[in-house]
Amino acid sequence: MLLLAVWLIIFIIPRAVEARSALVDSTDVKIRNASSQDATGSETSVFIHPTDSRIVLVSIINQITSGVSAWVSQDGGMTWAGDNSAAGGSDSYGDPAAVIRRSIASSPVRYLVGQLTAKAGQKVIHKENATSLSWASTIIKHDSLGKTDKNHLWVDNHAESPENLRGRLYSAWSTEAKRVEAMYSFNAGASWTGLREIDATPSRAEWGVNLVVSTSPGFVVLRAGQETLRHKLTLIR
């Protein structure tokens, strides 16, 4: 036991301290150049590819146009493809939520950004070509069905998930009544289905903020305010 303690003190602890002290903040990564048409950005959303950390998707709100802008890097942030205009078109408004759906079977990598429409509906823009400036757009919930806010988008990139659920996308948001709704896409964002209210209890004021969606194999986890709701995927199929 004494020899083990000495070995830890001489060999392991100094190296652990040295490794910890070697961790330093990196320099800022410049994605775009500011111009008269592109003042400041806000509500930044960042997503790193789950199996290739060189691939990064960043989305922001352009404070001049109020639209959502997006950039993709394939070299760890050294260079970026994107522009300062609204990636979601004229109906793009705010609350960007960036996601990268990894390549699954014959389906290629897809870059997606969930966001509000101009009249507070829900939409997702998506593309497969990282360097393309063109994004396809899919309405998830039309604003005529009621205003929404505080949306979040997530993808099940878990290799351990059942094959029919792997790569499924989930979008959730709060409503004017402070309830939480969600939909899912099984075809990489091209279409959406399963609109449902996640919890049937009376509305809760805290659900109007800080809505976060995440996944683990077999489950979708929703965090709304200070409360976490864990649902089996079958509940929102």
Return the pLDDT at 149.
81
Give Dmax over CA atoms of the chain in angstroms: 73
- Domains belonging to the chain, first-starting first, are 38-236 (2.120.10.10)
User: What's the confidence (pLDDT) of residue 225?
Assistant: 59
Amino acid at 60: I
pLDDT per 10-residue tile (average), the chain, 237 residues? 45 47 64 60 87 92 78 91 74 86 87 88 90 88 79 90 87 81 89 74 52 76 59 41
Sequence-distant contacts of 121-126: CB under 8 A, at least 24 apart: 121/145, 121/147, 121/148, 122/148, 122/151, 122/171, 122/173, 123/88, 123/91, 123/92, 124/153, 124/169, 124/171, 124/185, 124/189, 124/192, 125/68, 125/70, 125/87, 125/88, 125/92, 126/188, 126/189, 126/190
Residue 233: its pLDDT value, please?
A: 37
SS3 33: coil
**Is residue 213 within 8 Å of residue 170, measured between CB atoms?**
yes
pTM, whole model, 2 decimals? Answer: 0.78
The number of C-alpha atoms within 13 Å of 38 and in the hemisphere containing its C-beta is: 13
